[in-house]
Structure 1
Amino acid sequence: MSLTGKPSLTTAAPVANDGFWPDLSLSDLMNRYRIPSEYADDTISWGLSLALVRVNEQLERAKKAVLVIPFETFDGYLESSSAAALKVHYEHAVYSYAKAFLLQQFSTMNRRKEAENMAKESAETEQYWLDESKKSVAAILRHFVPGEEHSTKANFFVGLI
Structure 2
Amino acid sequence: MFSGLPQDYSSITVTNDGWWPDTDVADFQSQRSIPASIKTETVASALLMAIGEANAELAAYQSAQRAKGFSSAKDVTGPSAGGVNQLCAQYLKIIFARAKAELMGEITSAEREKANPGQQSEDTRDRLLAEASFAIRNIMGHPRVTVDLI
Q: TM-score, normalised by structure 2?
A: 0.78
Residues 145-160 of structure 1 aligned to structure 2 (within 5 Å): 149=142
Give the Cα–Cα distance (whole angstroms) in 2 for the partners of residues 38 and 47 of structure 1: 15
Q: TM-score, normalised by structure 1?
A: 0.73
State the partner residue of 1:97. 98
State the partner residue of 1:58. 57
Q: Which runs of 5+ in 2 are unaligned?
A: 80-84, 146-150
- Structure 1 letter corresponding to 2:94: A
- More strand per residue: 2
Compute the displacement of 1:140 (Å): 0.6
Compute the displacement of 1:121 (Å): 2.5
Compute the displacement of 1:34 (Å): 0.6
Q: Secondary structure at the match of 1:90?
A: helix
Compute the displacement of 1:5 (Å): 8.1
User: CA RMSD of the aligned region, Å?
Assistant: 2.3
Give the Cα–Cα distance (whole angstroms) in 2 for the partners of residues 82 and 128 of structure 1: 27
Compute the displacement of 1:13 (Å): 3.3
Q: Aligned pairs, how many?
A: 136
Q: Deviations over 1:15-52 (max 9, x none)?
A: 10011111011121111111123311111111111111
**Percentage identity across aligned positions?**
23
State the partner residue of 1:155. none
State the partner residue of 2:88. 87
Give the Cα–Cα distance (whole angstroms) in 2 for the partners of residues 122 and 23 of structure 1: 30
Q: Which runs of 5+ in 1 are unaligned?
A: 143-148, 153-161
Give the Cα–Cα distance (whole angstroms) in 2 for the partners of residues 50 and 40 of structure 1: 16
Whether the 8 Å contact between 2:9 and 2:26 is mirrored in structure 1 is no
